[in-house]
Structure 1
Amino acid sequence: MSFNVLKSSAAAVSWKSTGNLQKTLARCIEKHGVGLHSGRPTKIKIWPELAKKGRYFQVGSNVIESSINFVKESPLCTTLCKDGVMVTTVEHLLSALEAFGVDNCRIEITPSNPNEPGVEVPILDGSAREWVKAIEEAGLEDATDENGNNCEKMAPFVNEPIHLRKNDSFIAAFPSEEIHITCGINFPEVPSIGCQWFFSRNFNRSFYATDIASARTFCVYEEVEKIREMGLIKGGSLDNAIVCSASKGWLNSALRFHDEPCRHKVLDLIGDLSIFAKSGNQGLPVAHIVAYKAGHALHTDLVRHLT
Structure 2
Amino acid sequence: MSLSAAFNSLKSSNLISWKTTGKFQQTLAGCIELAGKTLHTGKVSKVKVCPGFAGEGRYFEFQSKLIPASIDFARESPLCTTLCKDGYKIRTVEHLLSALEAKGIDNCIIQIQSLDSEDSEVEVPIFDGSASAWVEAIEQVGQKEALDRCGNNLEKLAPYLNEPLHVLRNDSFIVGLPSSEVRITCGIDFPKMPAIGCQWFSSSFSDDFYEKHIACSRTFCIYEEVEHMRSAGLIKGGSLENAIVCSATKGWLNPPLRFHDEPCRHKILDLMGDLSLFARPGRQGFPAAHIVSFKGGHSLNANFVRRLSGINVEGSQ
Q: TM-score, normalised by structure 2?
A: 0.93
Inter-partner Cα distance in structure 2 for 1:139 and 1:10: 35
| Inter-partner Cα distance in structure 1 for 2:25 and 2:272 | 19
Residue of structure 2 aligned with 1:286, choices 285, 288, 306: 288
2:144 aligned partner, one-letter code: E
Residue of 179, 182, 189 corresponding to 1:179: 182
Q: Aligned partner of 2:248: which letter?
A: A
Contact map agreement 1:242 1:252 (CA 8 A) in 2: yes
- Moved beyond 4 Å, runs of 4+: none
Query: What fraction of aligned residue pairs are identical, expressed as a percent?
Result: 60
| Counterpart in the other structure of 1:233 | 235
Q: Quick one: which of 161, 166, 187 aligns to 1:163?
A: 166
Does residue 103 in structure 1 map to residue 114 in structure 2? no
- Equivalent position of 2:75 in the other structure: 72
Matches within 5 A, 1:1-307: 10-200=13-203, 202-307=204-309
What amino acid does structure 2 have at the position aligned with 1:97? L
5+ long unaligned stretches in structure 2: 1-11, 310-317
Give the Å deviation of 1:10: 4.7
- SS of aligned partner of 2:208: helix
Q: Is the 8 A contact 1:169 1:294 kept in 2?
A: yes
Give secondary structure in 1 for the equivalent of 2:46: strand
Amino acid at match of 1:203: F
- The Cα RMSD (Å) is 0.9
Q: Which residue of 2 aligns with 1:5?
A: none
User: Displacement of 1:205 after TM fit?
Assistant: 3.2
Q: Distance in 1 between matches of 2:124 and 2:207?
A: 22
8 Å Cα contact 1:212-1:264 kept in structure 2: yes
Deviation string 1:32-83 (CA, Å, 9 cap, x unpaired) is 1011001000011000011011001000211100011100100000000000
Gaps of 5+ in 1: 1-8
Letter in 2 for 1:117: S
Q: Structure 1 length normalisation: TM-score?
A: 0.96
Q: Are the equivalent residues in 2 in contact too, given 1:99–1:204 (CA < 8 A)?
A: no
The answer (yes or no) to whether the contact 1:13–1:159 under 8 Å persists in 2 is yes
Once the two structures are superposed, residues 228-261 of structure 1 have per-residue CA deviations (whole angstroms, 9 ceiling, x without a partner) of 0110000000100000000000001310000000
Who is 1:3 aligned against?
none
Kindly provide the amino acid, as one letter, of the partner of residue 182 in structure 1: T
